[in-house]
Structure 1
């Protein structure tokens, strides 16, 4: 019993119960206004009907007095004065002596007044029946006579009492049901909140694989749980990435650091002395620069994955920008034996981080030059900037050995280098940086077959698109080859 009371008290103290109680109170208040207005209108209608009937009857009795005199009026009043009837009459002469009627006396509520009103009377003076409520008006039948006619409205009062009682009982039942419903709703919400709290505590204890359960009904709580689960997926991905970076640094950077140390030791042991020291220091500086580049790339990727850089975005012509960056690599491509083809559209305006997109383009072109086979017929690197399915896209294609489909997802991770590229200088962070730039702009990186070779497509979110060439949307834009 104590546990049940504790659960009820916990549910009653929740915001959901408070809002439910407030809604019930507002509903009852509105219902009270509506029912009160209906009751008041009904009571006025019934009262108007009674007064209309009395006024019509008063005109008839006045006519009787004018036509037949006192005798005719007395006869008519006597005929209408039925015991226990709803019609009430009292006729007296100038001395106050009752002549006819079923009322024993003038009601005290009407004495000394020249107009009608409401009064109570006893239908049977000696009976157990309670006093009835009635309404009466005086009738002008001459100065020597005094006539009062009325109607018993006890049924109307009984109707009003029944409506009032029904109203109170109904509101009491609605209040109880509303509060019980509020408790039930708040209990359901408390149960969901308890599940979320329990899951959160398990996550805080280190179990990042836990997720908030959903009911599958698609309500607001399910939407909240879905958003939280997406956030947890992102957190778990970042944590896994952090662990992966730590492992990669421990394994992949250990070798170059050992080589750096061995190079320094070899210089110290070289019998040539100063000349050997100088050569050793130069090699150490070169290797240190490569390590610094690696750490800078890691820091940049970590910064990109930490969140959006809204303050660094700007609007620019993507086609013109890609062409400008690509032209910087034309001499290097020619020196390596490649023909660099730049195909872009003008007027493709996007909003994004110009510097990071430029770094991604540079990495893709540098990879294409580094890992493709130059000097062979058809050796070309094609750089494009256009719309793809209504999304801004940058692609770099080559005619090299390509990447096996099974390895394409893997090469987007940090420090991943395939066996065929182990003999080339690099850190395995180039495509990781491109993927991070894509995620920053809510896009993606696709590795496709260039038949032969590899084509890397950097797709941006449609939200990045500011203006398409000629406003044509998905239409195939004309390419301006350079």
Structure 2
């Protein structure tokens, strides 16, 4: 039963309410016992003190003086006074205001039944044998019983209030939880049914449910973006593969129909080139997917980006010179990051290749790097014609190219790989604006 209740929010609240009720009951019972015992001890002490005073009277002045003292106390009696019974050696009453049957035995008695003025009562008593008779001093327990009943009523009310509040809280929390979960469930069912634009409503309270709704909405936005990206990639892959596959089929048909061995071999070579182009597209797509899966983080190590840039400049500077481009540098030493040397080198290589491929001779490119408190920024800017696409950020998507005719070599995957590498390192890649030409900056967290 308890395990069953613990599986729901309302059940958990009900268990907590039951726990508070049991704790209230235990505290009430303990307080009742302690209070009752303390009051009984107080009555016993009062009886003992009064008995000692009367026994002193009997020892110093004798039995008649004891009887006179009992009568005086009886005549001055109030509602809070003690009760007395003094009997002679034969058990006959001599003084006092109570009657008992049979006569009390010497010693303490917790529940002595007696009559006072013809009315029955119960009290605590102490009976002592004195010279010439027996003295009984009693205290009525009616006040003690009244206090016990009052305490029991208070604790019963506290227990009932605890149970009522616990039940109400369980119902309220259960209703709130079910309502919010119902919204999440309805959104999930709508998305399963195909409505990918559906989002979980938020109330702006910044509560646990509101923050959860925000997190789930961000996840759904990410999933929606990935689905859109997948759709775009599928379309772009089909578009980019159509031309090389069509050429491949044409070359194979020429090879199959050709009677001349030379023409047949030329057609086969052209078909091989088209097949390599198709394989290059698939290899690039797989490379981007591998980087986006973050599996490369297993190879992360601390290294100096400045040393990497020096090697990249030494590698590409001859190619820049031979193509009529100019490459300048501006970076300091000691730019340390945590990452994969090979991947960062790939990203910088893609930027340099794009400059060589998409800018005319005479273009000057600047490879620079700087650091701030948290990041190292690697930038490659040029003074070339720039990008003709309206939204330059779209260049980071797969198969998106600045020139729509697609007459130049490439498949639109270079910058997609650059951004994937940057994001995989916990950074970002952005297009630089505010200057002529084109520029991309990769920001990586410092080690």
TM-score by length of 2: 0.89
Give the whole-Å Cα distance in 2 for the aligned partners of 1:277 and 1:107: 137
- How far off its partner does 1:269 sit? 5.6
Size of the aligned set, in residue pairs, is: 442
Match of 2:199 in 1: 211
Match of 2:62 in 1: 69
Are 1:359 and 2:346 an aligned pair? yes
Equivalences for residues 191-210 of structure 1 within 5 A:
191-210=179-198
Give the whole-Å Cα distance in 2 for the aligned partners of 1:304 and 1:208: 26
Match of 1:480 in 2: none
**Residue 354 to residue 34, structure 1, CA distance change in 2 (3 Å):** farther
Give the whole-Å Cα distance in 1 for the aligned partners of 2:29 and 2:397: 72
Equivalences for residues 378-417 of structure 1 within 5 A:
379-388=363-372, 390-403=374-387, 406-417=390-401
Give the whole-Å Cα distance in 2 for the aligned partners of 1:66 and 1:124: 28
> Is the 2:114–2:122 contact (alpha carbons within 8 Å) kept by the matching residues of 1?
no
Match of 1:21 in 2: 14
Cα distance per residue 1:183-224 (max 9 Å; x no partner): 221122112212211211111122211112223211212222
Give the whole-Å Cα distance in 2 for the aligned partners of 1:348 and 1:239: 37
- How far off its partner does 1:348 sit? 3.3
Are 1:117 and 2:106 an aligned pair? no
Cα distance per residue 1:159-191 (max 9 Å; x no partner): 111211221233123213312320221122112
Give the whole-Å Cα distance in 2 for the aligned partners of 1:185 and 1:151: 53
**Residue 117 to residue 126, structure 1, CA distance change in 2 (3 Å):** closer
Match of 1:90 in 2: 85
Cα distance per residue 1:39-61 (max 9 Å; x no partner): 33433432333233223222321
Match of 1:103 in 2: 98
Are 1:443 and 2:430 an aligned pair? no
User: For structure 1, which segment, 427-436 or 350-359, has the greater mean C-alpha deviation from structure 2 after superposition?
Assistant: 350-359
Are 1:133 and 2:122 an aligned pair? yes
Give the whole-Å Cα distance in 2 for the aligned partners of 1:172 and 1:353: 66
Give the whole-Å Cα distance in 2 for the aligned partners of 1:106 and 1:309: 100
Cα distance per residue 1:50-95 (max 9 Å; x no partner): 2332232223212322333212110111222357844111111222
Give the whole-Å Cα distance in 1 for the aligned partners of 2:301 and 2:425: 12
- How far off its partner does 1:434 sit? 1.2
Residue 380 of structure 2: SS of its match in structure 1? Answer: strand
Residue 424 of structure 1: SS of its match in structure 2? Answer: coil
Residue 96 of structure 1: SS of its match in structure 2? Answer: coil
Q: Which runs of 5+ in 1 are unaligned?
A: 1-10, 467-482
Match of 1:455 among 422, 427, 439: 439
- How far off its partner does 1:248 sit? 0.9
Are 1:39 and 2:32 an aligned pair? yes
Residue 415 of structure 1: SS of its match in structure 2? Answer: coil
**Residue 316 to residue 331, structure 1, CA distance change in 2 (3 Å):** same
Match of 1:473 in 2: none
Residue 86 of structure 2: SS of its match in structure 1? Answer: strand
Residue 395 of structure 1: SS of its match in structure 2? Answer: strand
- How far off its partner does 1:306 sit? 4.3
Cα distance per residue 1:202-254 (max 9 Å; x no partner): 11122211112223211212222222222211111111111111111222321
- How far off its partner does 1:277 sit? 2.1
Give the whole-Å Cα distance in 1 for the aligned partners of 2:430 and 2:89: 114
TM-score by length of 1: 0.83
Give the whole-Å Cα distance in 1 for the aligned partners of 2:210 and 2:7: 19
Residue 215 of structure 1: SS of its match in structure 2? Answer: coil
> Is the 1:107–1:119 contact (alpha carbons within 8 Å) kept by the matching residues of 2?
no
Match of 1:161 in 2: 149
**Residue 93 to residue 48, structure 1, CA distance change in 2 (3 Å):** same
Give the whole-Å Cα distance in 1 for the aligned partners of 2:101 and 2:366: 115
**Residue 400 to residue 48, structure 1, CA distance change in 2 (3 Å):** same
Residue 373 of structure 1: SS of its match in structure 2? Answer: coil
